[in-house]
Structure 1
């Protein structure tokens, strides 16, 4: 019996005080069939097609000369988040991407590295970026404060956006699932509940892809601002 609705997200499984929930972050690699790693393969060809599309899109957001090959970092980030989002949709698997421990661990080091690189190598550009072009002189002090605050909260917004979107869908699925025992006497209501759960699951699949893409694109845009 859950003490509250959010207790379903608590990492409680452990052996010898070692948490086993977080092993789902990498343990899912074992479920890939061996045929996935063989070339040519339909699933691998489809995945490579997706990665090429992402590479071409991220490449347009990054400076061409200074950051050759940087798009592969963000493609790997997209793949890692997407993998964990999908894995969290399976029953009895710990959803690591719904925790700030997971999301903030990715967002904070990336943002910090961009800031350190920008302020050391492009100090004048970073100062100029605090005042948008065309700002009236009387509003410049306020714009500097606003831009500084918006810059400082970027890792928090990145991590909270991903975690909140993953939690919201899972909570909705949990709420609807808990109403099942109360509707056992009505076959019609059970069918409606199952149909709703299936539609929500399809929506969660779409949200998993979209949130992975948003996280990777925003990180790419943040990195392009420091060059």
Structure 2
């Protein structure tokens, strides 16, 4: 039962031994407004407003007076990629790439490694100050260094696992409820349909929230290296 249940996440569609399902990661490019060859419309305006709102928020967090201008574009692009992949995965027959650790770790691990290398090479004194919080008693300093080091090392894994676990949980719940449909009475079937509709609305909100959390935490981790 568990093997069949988790098989919904398997990239089983293959062409010439290539996992064809992973191409769904690029589906979001179809929905991005084609500003240069399509007349501006409400969708284009909405997308632009979202980008500017994210830019302002990331700019305030990153204190762009101390870093290169345009760095917010990295995290805006990351948010857009995750948002569309999370949301499109709710549609039938579309592979949810964000429910796999190989996808989320590919995003979080290089970002974290880049931040760490930049911080320790360019601002090593600043990075050492993060190992001991201000006001820590001298007797607790060795323990605080160990704790802060471990919490820093597990950051990319917590980012990846948080995203993957939330995507898997929602899909598994919808699958479990959907499999009980044939054995239910008419009244219970109507309740099941209503509950599935609410669950899809919840998962749509989770898709947005998880993309935002991933991008905002990556932004906060980058600020600690400056």
Specify the alignment match of 1:10 in structure 2.
10
Name the Cα RMSD after superposition: 1.8
Specify the alignment match of 1:198 in structure 2.
197
Specify the alignment match of 2:135 in structure 1.
134
The yes-or-no answer on 1:43 pairing with 2:29 is no
Distance 1:161 1:45 in 2: 31
Specify the alignment match of 2:83 in structure 1.
82
Distance 1:199 1:70 in 2: 37
Distance 1:163 1:41 in 2: 34
Report deviation, 1:42: 0.1
Specify the alignment match of 2:218 in structure 1.
219
Specify the alignment match of 2:19 in structure 1.
19
CA distances 1:13-47 after superposition (whole Å, capped 9, x unpaired): 10111110100001343466879963421011011
Counterparts in 2 of 1:124 and 1:192: CA distance versus 1, 3 Å: same
SS at 1:135 equivalent: coil
SS at 2:64 equivalent: coil
CA distances 1:130-173 after superposition (whole Å, capped 9, x unpaired): 00111111100000000000000000000000000000000000
Distance 1:23 1:144 in 2: 43
Distance 1:173 1:36 in 2: 39
Counterparts in 2 of 1:60 and 1:30: CA distance versus 1, 3 Å: closer
Distance 2:129 2:222 in 1: 16
Distance 1:152 1:210 in 2: 24
Counterparts in 2 of 1:34 and 1:148: CA distance versus 1, 3 Å: closer
Distance 2:47 2:33 in 1: 14
The yes-or-no answer on 1:165 pairing with 2:188 is no
Q: What 5-or-longer segments of structure 1 have no aligned partner?
A: none
SS at 2:69 equivalent: coil
How many aligned residue pairs are there?
225
Distance 1:32 1:187 in 2: 41
Are the counterparts in 2 of residues 100 and 159 from structure 1 also a CA contact under 8 Å?
yes
Specify the alignment match of 2:60 in structure 1.
60
Report deviation, 1:67: 3.0
Taking structure 1 as the reference length, what is the TM-score of the superposition?
A: 0.94
Distance 1:68 1:98 in 2: 32
Distance 1:160 1:117 in 2: 24
Distance 1:119 1:201 in 2: 44
Superposed counterparts of 1:81-160, under 5 Å? 81-160=82-161
Q: What 5-or-longer segments of structure 2 have no aligned partner?
A: none
Distance 2:157 2:168 in 1: 16
